[in-house]
Chains A and B, each alone.
Chain A
Amino acid sequence: MNAMDISIAAARAVVIFGLVLSLIPVLIWMERKGAAYIQDRRGPNRAHILGFRLGGLVHMLADALKLLTKEEVTAAGVMKPLVFLAPALAFFAATATVAAVPFSGPISVAGQTLTLEVANMKAGLVYVLAISSLGAYALLLAGVTSQTSYSFLGAMRAASQFISYELALGMAALALFLVAGSLSLTDIAADQGAVLWRWNAFRQPLAFLIFMAALFAEASRLPFDLPEGDSEIVGYHVEYSSMRFAMFFMAEYAHIIVGSAVVAALFFGGWNIPFADQGLIAANAERIAAVAWPIAAVVLMLAGASIAQRFKKRFGDLRDYEPVMIGLPMMIAGVTLAILYAPLGDVILSTRWLPAAVTFVLGFTAVLAKTLLIASVFVWVRWTLPRFRYDQVMAFGWKILLPAGMLNLVVTAAIMLYLG
């Protein structure tokens, strides 16, 4: 392992971790807008910087400022180190899982094959289960060290819920291991290939349903949000304020993002695009780029124009000019792209690294699109289903999910044995 390898590995770790971090506000924004549209409201749309509202995204910045400047309260007589450790552990467990997730297929640059995950682990699936199960400790620590009955109740609920649903999660993942013959997330994604009905969501529909249900429970999202239970016990983080609370909040959303990325890799072929496999894309990279360039220019111009024409004097302040300030630069960018096509097109289209770049961009876009789509299912379910009762959670986990997972595992094993 030379300095080059180490620096590539470090760069991958930083970039992918930064990607997860920057997706957190996007997901929170999706959550608020999703909630609003499901409840027939407009959602966040007031905060603005120099008139830029960006459809409510600026609210996330206001939130961050608010949380950072709030007073941090620590109850008397608690074990300080553990109180500090709990949110950090929550965030660590939620984000460290992403190390095993492939963000694009293997690409070859200058005779070298680059893989786009932090660590290509042979035991990737077990690693994901292991790290995500550590998250329960954060909830337990937070709840128990706060010395409040409500947070203690939340912690106990969290612990028992995690133990119950971890088994179902493992059972569903084991069936995938049998199908792909490898525990590495990259291998499982590669094994599904580009043929739509070879994706595990279609080959293993029962495992997919079990995995999703268990993932909701592990992320303590709404049908299973008993550890928090806003309307009954405020839950394990009732004693936390300011940025320490924000760490829990961010960990919850990071858990959803990373969980969605894992589901995308395990059940939806990861970086694979339906019916267009990596070899096909690499072979036709030049054609794809040659078509995509003018299309991008035209789309930018049209989208910019349609945004800019919404200009209307409504508020009487800077907010009125937001459509123009966003639409015009988009139109200018589109025109620039179109003009640059003539002198630069041939140079760029004939470069050596074009196939690698096109495969990477398409694969990365596919992973990101799948991840956000699955994350939006989390939002959708949260604002649709009410919370389970505690006994229902236990009965669902132990009496339905676990037996179904075992059955799925046995049937899969039998079929794999029969097929040889």
Chain B
Amino acid sequence: MIEAILFYFLAACAVVSAVGTITRINPLMSALWLVAALLSLAGLYGALAAPLVAAIQVIVAAGAVMVLILFVVMMTDRGPEGMRPRAIRFSKMLGALAAAYLAIVMIVAVAVPPFVASPASGGYYESPVTLGGFVAGKYAAAFELAGVMLLVAALSVITIAKWGERTRSDDDDCEEALS
């Protein structure tokens, strides 16, 4: 009973904050909503008797999204009030395509569940050994790929930020030449 209430509450929090993430215009606000969504997910993991996964989720939420916020600030480079609405060309077309793709994936996933109910008893996901086995064994490739993706993202943001700096004005170039 109490688990059901907890589940529906946390799930509702996750959905609401996920909607907040994609509807806010200010990128900083959507990043903060993303934190809320990730924290609700952490709560769900905790309710599923996997406190270690929940704690790691919080670390990821706190650390990685913090980096994201710094990226946002670096890219816009003008403080909170200078952040403009984001606009991408063909954004609606791209969005429709991505939504269609996601819908197909979700329909397939619901029709053919790839995950069977785990045979684990209580405490199985509490053990760091289990989790380490997954991350360094079965899912090592996916884990490393995610790491590489984050590195590429970091490098591209630094490139974009530096590129914006170079084209801003000539005064900066003089300072650079002097230093």
Q: Are A152 and B58 in contact (CB under 8 A)?
A: no
Q: Is B151 an interface residue (CB 8 A)?
A: no
A163-B63 in contact given A126-B52, A156-B70 (Cβ < 8 Å): yes
Q: Interface segment, A129-137, A285-293, A396-404?
A: A129-137
Q: Among B35, B70, B128, which residue has its beta carbon within 8 angstroms of that of A160?
A: B70
Of A123, A145, A152, chain B has the most CB atoms within 10 Å of the CB of: A123
Are the C-beta atoms of B69 and A152 separated by less than 8 Å?
A: no
In the assembled complex, the CB of A113 is this many whole angstroms from the nearest CB of chain B, namely 18
Task: State which residues 60-100 of B face A: CB under 8 Å.
Answer: 62-63, 66-67, 69-70, 73, 79-81
Residues of A within 8 A of B55 (CB): 123, 126-127, 129-130
- Interface: A207 (CB within 8 A): no
Q: How many angstroms between the C-alpha atoms of A177 and B132 in the bound complex? A: 13
In the bound complex, CA of A261 to CA of B127 (Å): 24
A159 within 8 A of B: yes
Whether A121 lies near B58 (C-beta < 8 A) is: no
Closest-CB distance, A110 to chain B (whole angstroms): 26
**A117-155 toward B: CB 8 Å interface, digit per residue (1/0)?**
000011100110111011011001100110101001000
Given the interface pairs A137-B35, A183-B52, the reply to whether A147 lies near B80 with Cβ below 8 Å is yes
Q: How many residues of B contact A (CB 8 A)?
A: 23
The docked-state distance in angstroms from the alpha carbon of A140 to that of B63 is: 12
Answer yes or no: B51 CB below 8 A from chain A CBs: yes
- Find out whether the CB atom of B66 lies under 8 angstroms from the CB atom of A130: no
On whether the beta carbons of A134 and B52 are closer than 8 Å, the reply is no
Q: Is the CB of A134 within 8 A of B63?
A: no
Q: Could you say which residues of chain B place their CB within 8 Å of the CB of A160?
A: 70
For A127, list chain B residues within 8 Å (CB). Answer: 51, 55
Task: List, in ascending order, chain A residues with CB within 8 A of B35's CB.
Answer: 137
When distances are taken between beta carbons in the complex, the residues of chain B under 8 Å from A225 are none
Is A166 on the interface with B (CB-CB < 8 A)? Answer: yes
Closest to B29 in A: A79
Which residues of A are found within 8 Å of B81, using beta-carbon distances? 147
Q: State the majority secondary structure of interface residues on B.
A: helix
The reply to whether the CB of A208 lies closer than 8 angstroms to some CB of chain B is no
Specify which chain A residues have a CB less than 8 angstroms from the CB of B28 in the assembled complex.
Answer: 144
B56 contacts which chain A residues (CB < 8 A)?
126, 130
Contact of B58 among A122, A134, A159, A162 (CB under 8 A): A134
Q: Give Cα A130–Cα B57 distance, bound, in whole angstroms.
A: 8
- A149 contact set on B, CB distance < 8 A: 79
Q: Which of B70, B80, B123, B127 has the most CB of A within 10 A?
A: B80
Whether B70 contacts A133 by the Cβ 8 Å rule is no
Interface assignment of B106: CB less than 8 Å from any CB of chain A: no
Asked if residues A123 and B51 are in contact (CB atoms below 8 Å), the reply is: yes
| 19 contacting pairs across A/B (C-beta < 8 A) | A82-B32, A122-B123, A123-B51, A126-B56, A130-B55, A130-B62, A131-B58, A133-B58, A133-B63, A134-B62, A137-B62, A137-B66, A144-B80, A152-B80, A156-B70, A159-B69, A160-B70, A183-B52, A183-B128
- Besides A123-B126, A126-B55, A136-B66, 18 other A-B contacts (C-beta < 8 A): A122-B51, A122-B126, A122-B128, A123-B55, A126-B59, A127-B51, A130-B55, A130-B59, A130-B62, A133-B59, A140-B66, A141-B32, A145-B80, A147-B80, A152-B80, A160-B70, A166-B63, A183-B128
- Which A residues have a C-beta under 8 Å from some C-beta of B? 82, 121-123, 126-127, 129-131, 133-134, 136-137, 140-141, 144-145, 147, 149, 152, 156, 159-160, 162-163, 166, 177, 183
* B interface residues with partner A (beta carbon < 8 Å): 28, 32, 35, 51-52, 55-56, 58-59, 62-63, 66-67, 69-70, 73, 79-81, 123, 126-128
